[in-house]
Chains A and B, each alone.
Chain A
Amino acid sequence: MDNNPYLEVFIDESKEHLQSMNDYLLWLEKNPEDLSIVNEIFRSAHTLKGMSATMGYQDLSKLTHQMENVLDGVRNERIKVDAEMLDIVFDSVDDLEAMVMDIATGGAGNREVKQVVKMLEGIETGEESTTFALEPDHTANTSVSLSIDEFTRTILEQSKEQGQQNYRVEVTLRENCLLKAARVYMVFEVLEQLGEVILSVPTVEQLENEEFEQSFIVLLVTTSDMEEVEKKIHKVSEIDRVAVAEFLIDSRSTELSSPEENNSSELVSNNRKSEEETASEKTNHKQTGNKTIRINIDRLDALMNLFEELVIDKGRLEQISSELNDAALQETVEHMSRISGDLQSIILNMRMVPMEQVFNRFPRMVRQLSRDLNKQVSLSIVGAETELDRTVIDEIGDPLVHLIRNALDHGIESPDERERKGKNPSGKLELKAFHSGNHVYIEIADDGAGINRDKVIRKAVSNHVVTENQSLNMSNNQVYELIMESGFSTADEVSDVSGRGVGMDVVKSTIESLGGTITIDSELDRGSTFSVQLPLTLSIISVMLVEVQKEKFAIPISSIMETAIVKKEDVMSAHRKQVIDFRGKVVPLVFLKEVLEVPSSHQEDEYFSLVIIREKDKMAGLVVDSFIGQQEVVLKSLGNYLSGTYAISGATILGDGQVALILDSHALIH
């Protein structure tokens, strides 16, 4: 099983289904009356069951099966949605998650599920035993049932009114049948000549893929009589048995048992699957419009690396063609540039994933944590659609989990304490993601206790992170940053949730390794905000090349508002800084020549060429000597040796093979 080529797909899809189950369960908790949500959960549970059974993970399929029963009960309004029921279902989802993770890490996905299964059974039978007895009974009798949804029922009713017959046709192929799919196809062809196939169990797709044992059932609407149907099907070779019966649609659960004996329990589950699939037919139709395939991220990386080299060469070609001044060459190069631009946006887009992928596991986590900690927390998520490079997304999950745990554990107080402080007993946690410039910001804000400066200092001093003298001169922000030093934990007691003494320093180093930064803002008894800044993408960026004296620098286009040329006399002085009035706003000037210590080689003229950059609501005008133009460049690191260089975020190789430095607009603004 380990080498099963489908394993990876199975794991990925299982995770997706678990996630959607979690999401919908949370939603259901808020809208317990909305049964369409239950349908969604049911769908996921069902698919998961089918997949795990196929893959041979017994415990997984056992648990999902039981869950499905409960959900079915809810769907049919036999079981009420309440906190207790949800807790158990949540628990079982946790178990499922653990099993899938186990499989993902090479385990067999075995887990003691009896207890949870029992609890689920408890819900199932406790609420309603008579009506619900239907299904287990049928399983026991090994009979085949066929369930239909509202939609199908309407069709059947209509056809009945029009004088057509609804038949339930069960076809059993011979055991030694070699081309099952072909036979199925032939049977369907016959059936379609006779009338209309409304439903088939297993579904047509499964049948075509030979995902069935020996027999399958179809619902046929036809004007012909039973005998004719039976005869015609028998004309197809390798058919063992054909059973045609009238399909009655009066029963409430719209199920019909077959007189035939059939010990394939697989079929029972398939029935349920088809029931599910018909129920979600409409959704499926919508989804098929957007086909996707899964690609290993390594391949995307390889593609990206190759493309980076192409971009460098493209830059070189552009330069050569402008030097040679050959019309045909220029045209070709221009065309190539356009294509490479398109290619780039496609490649980059392929790697972009919405933050949602990370955020969507948090509602569940916060719910659980707030229960464990006996706190009341309302979580709001803003900007989940914000997109980030896949590699960043993969790495950012754990740090965020940690920050949220911290906010709940150390930040938000218990309801009593909050009331004492005159706050709403229910705490607020806001998770916000947004783009600004060439960065993505993720903010985790709580309205809890805030960071106690004195407490942090005491702790830091006793842990020898800083000396007492040092601490006296530290600004609040510097003090807050101490909590991200290694070996620091502010919780008075070590709790399960956080405060193992590792963590914040790991959070910090992870974020820094992604080229990001983390800042803390806090007010005592008002709450704290952890703000994480991350680069949007890691490799190719669009820059504006500028010249300062004889040196070339690149400024990321994403942080540029516009360029301007101002006269020297328009520059004013305020607070010993030189500023200009730019469209009614006071914008400070940053003389790159001084900041970057560029050696002087020629005199400035009477105009200043400005590149106006912006970050959030701050602006600055960078004074340069001339603008060269816009270019796509490959971002290269300066290497470990020069990491942390002020105002430089990296380097790039220009068309002439020389290195140009990329300015860090963030540092220049502050």
Chain B
Amino acid sequence: MEERNSFLKVIVFQLNGKEYTIPVHQVGSIERVMPITRVPGTAPFVKGVINLRGIVTPIVDLRERLGIDAARVNEQTRIITAKVADMAVGLIVDGANDLLDINKEVIEPSPEAVGTENLEVVQGVVHLERRLLVLLNLEKVLSIDDVDDLKKVKL
């Protein structure tokens, strides 16, 4: 039991050449890009909504949310549907193809030198041999307060 608990299963995805992860228990599914209906009056990183098997799901461009240039959709682009605090949201990422078990002990809390992104959305970083994985805090990424703030700024 203990051994299992010390590992965190994560989904690894790419954004702008870097690798990010979110815990697998927050992920609903990984989808190919489908037609998105734009919703006016939302924050710029909200791309709109999709019909995810009968459920209208908002889509966030994770690159824009983290302050990276807008994504160019290609064959690799994926939508990761994530569920946080009763909200189902789809995240556009450059690609998602890896599932890892991470030993919790190797997660480093200090997110320095990660780069351009907003620091508070980073929960920690993981050094794995030659890879550097950024563990995102989805609650913060999808924080409604934040969204509201952004909306206000825009108005």
Query: Which residues of A are interface residues toward B (Cβ below 8 A)?
Result: 309, 312, 551, 595-598, 636-642, 645-648, 651, 653, 657-661
Contact = CB atoms under 8 A, between A and B. Distances in A.
Contacts, number: 70
B79 interface: no
A595 B39 CA distance: 12
A647 B37 contact: no
B51 A653 contact: yes
A639 B56 contact: yes
8 contacts: A597-B41, A637-B56, A639-B87, A646-B40, A646-B41, A653-B54, A659-B48, A659-B49
B87 A309 contact: no
B37 A596 contact: no
Nearest to A653: B51
A512 to B, nearest CB: 15
Interface residues of B, number: 24
A118 to B, nearest CB: 55
A641 B40 contact: no
Contact of B87 (A640, A653, A658): A640
Q: Max chain B CB contacts within 10 Å: which of A551, A597, A639, A653?
A: A639
B105 interface: no
B39 A645 contact: yes
B98 to A, nearest CB: 26
Contacts of A312: 54
A637 B142 CA distance: 18
A596 B142 CA distance: 23
A658 B35 CA distance: 7
Interface string B40-61: 1110001011110011111000
B94 to A, nearest CB: 22
B15 interface: no
Contacts of A597: 40-41
Given A641-B142, A651-B49, A653-B51, A659 B41 contact: no
Q: Give the 10 A-B residue pairs with the shortest CB-CB distance, closest first.
A: A659-B37, A596-B40, A646-B41, A651-B56, A636-B56, A597-B40, A641-B58, A641-B87, A640-B87, A653-B51
Q: Max chain A CB contacts within 10 Å: which of B38, B39, B48, B142?
A: B39
A312 B56 CA distance: 13
Contacts of A309: 54
B51 A659 contact: yes
Nearest to B43: A642
B54 A659 contact: no
Interface of B: 35, 37-42, 46, 48-51, 54-58, 86-89, 142, 144, 147
Contacts of B40: 595-598, 645-648
B134 to A, nearest CB: 22
A86 to B, nearest CB: 50
Contacts of A661: 37, 39, 49
Nearest to A634: B54
B141 to A, nearest CB: 11
Contacts of B37: 551, 651, 658-661
Nearest to A596: B40
Contacts of B55: 636
Contacts of A637: 56
B147 A641 contact: yes
Nearest to B155: A646
A645 B50 contact: no
A101 to B, nearest CB: 32
A562 B94 CA distance: 46
A598 B37 CA distance: 11
Contacts of A638: 39, 49, 56, 58
Contact of B41 (A639, A648, A657, A658): A648
B144 A640 contact: yes
Contacts of A658: 35, 37, 51
Contact of B88 (A639, A651, A653, A657): A639
Given A647-B41, A658-B35, A640 B49 contact: no
Nearest to A636: B56
Nearest to A657: B51
A412 B89 CA distance: 49
